[in-house]
Amino acid sequence: MSLLAGKIGVVFGVANKRSIAWAIAQAWHKAGAQLAFTYQGERLKENVEELVGAFGPDTLLMPCDVTRDEDIERVFAELGQKFGRLDLLLHSVAFAPKDALEGQFVNTSREAFRVSHDVSAYSLVALARGAAPLMKDGGSIVAMSYYGAEKVIPHYNVMGVAKASLEASARYLAYDLGSRKIRVNCISAGPMNTLAARGIAGFLDMMKHYEARSPLKRNVQPDELGATGAFLASDGAAAITGQVLYVDCGYQIMGM
Ligand code: 0WE
Residue 253 in any domain: the answer is: no
The pLDDT tens digits of the residues spanning 90-133 come to 999 999 999 999 999 999 999 999 999 999 999 999 999 999 99
Catalytic center residues: 146, 156
Confidence of residue 201 (pLDDT cuts 50, 70, 90): confident
Q: What confidence score (pLDDT) does residue 195 get?
A: 85
* DSSP 8-class letter at 136: B
Helices (H) and strands (E) in the chain, counts: 8, 7
CA of 79 to the centre of ligand 1 (A): 30
Cα 182 to Cα 174: distance, rounded to the nearest angstrom: 7
Total count of domains within the chain: 1
CA of 162 to the centre of ligand 1 (A): 11
Cα 98 to Cα 12: distance, rounded to the nearest angstrom: 21
Give exposure, 75-87, as e/b (b: 16+ Cβ within 10 Å). bbeebeeebeebb
CB of 193 within 8 A of CB of 207? yes
Residue 251 in any domain: the answer is: no
Q: What confidence score (pLDDT) does residue 244 get?
A: 98
Q: What confidence score (pLDDT) does residue 1 get?
A: 57
CA of 200 to the centre of ligand 1 (A): 7
Q: Is residue 101 in contact with ligand 1, taking CB distance under 6 Å?
A: yes
Residue 1 in any domain: the answer is: no
Q: What's the CA angle centered on 95, arms 93 and 101, to 5 degrees?
A: 140
Q: Look at residue 134 and tell me whether its pLDDT is greater than 90.
A: yes
pTM of the model: 0.98
Closest ligand 1 atom number to CA of residue 98: 15
Residue 252 in any domain: the answer is: no
- Give the CATH number of the domain where residue 184 resides: 3.40.50.720
Please tell me the residue having the least CA distance from ligand 1 atom 21: 156
Residue 172 in any domain: the answer is: yes
C-alpha dihedral over 191, 195, 199, 200, to 10 degrees?
Answer: -30
* DSSP 8-class letter at 203: H
The domain in which residue 61 lies consists of: 8-246
Residue 66 in any domain: the answer is: yes
Q: Is residue 147 in contact with ligand 1, taking CB distance under 6 Å?
A: no
Confidence of residue 250 (pLDDT cuts 50, 70, 90): very high
Q: Is residue 196 in contact with ligand 1, taking CB distance under 6 Å?
A: yes
Q: Is residue 115 in contact with ligand 1, taking CB distance under 6 Å?
A: no
Q: Is residue 100 in contact with ligand 1, taking CB distance under 6 Å?
A: no
Confidence of residue 220 (pLDDT cuts 50, 70, 90): very high
Residue 2 in any domain: the answer is: no
Contacts of 209 (CB under 8 A, 6+ apart): none
| Range 140-158 average pLDDT | 98
Confidence of residue 199 (pLDDT cuts 50, 70, 90): confident
CA of 255 to the centre of ligand 1 (A): 23
The letter for the amino acid at 178 is G
| Range 150-173 average pLDDT | 98
Please tell me the residue having the least CA distance from ligand 1 atom 16: 197
pLDDT more than 90, % of the chain? 94
CB of 25 within 8 A of CB of 16? no
Q: Where are the alpha helices (DSSP H) in the chain?
A: 20-30, 42-52, 69-83, 110-117, 123-131, 157-177, 203-213, 222-233
Contacts of 142 (CB under 8 A, 6+ apart): 24, 88, 89, 90, 91, 185, 186, 187, 229, 232, 233
The pLDDT tens digits of the residues spanning 31-70 come to 999 999 999 999 999 999 999 999 998 899 999 999 999 9
State the chain's mean pLDDT as an integer.
Answer: 97
Residue 256 in any domain: the answer is: no
Residue 10's alpha-carbon distances to 7, 139, 181, 193, 217, in angstroms, are: 10, 11, 18, 23, 34
Q: Is residue 197 in contact with ligand 1, taking CB distance under 6 Å?
A: yes
The letter for the amino acid at 37 is F
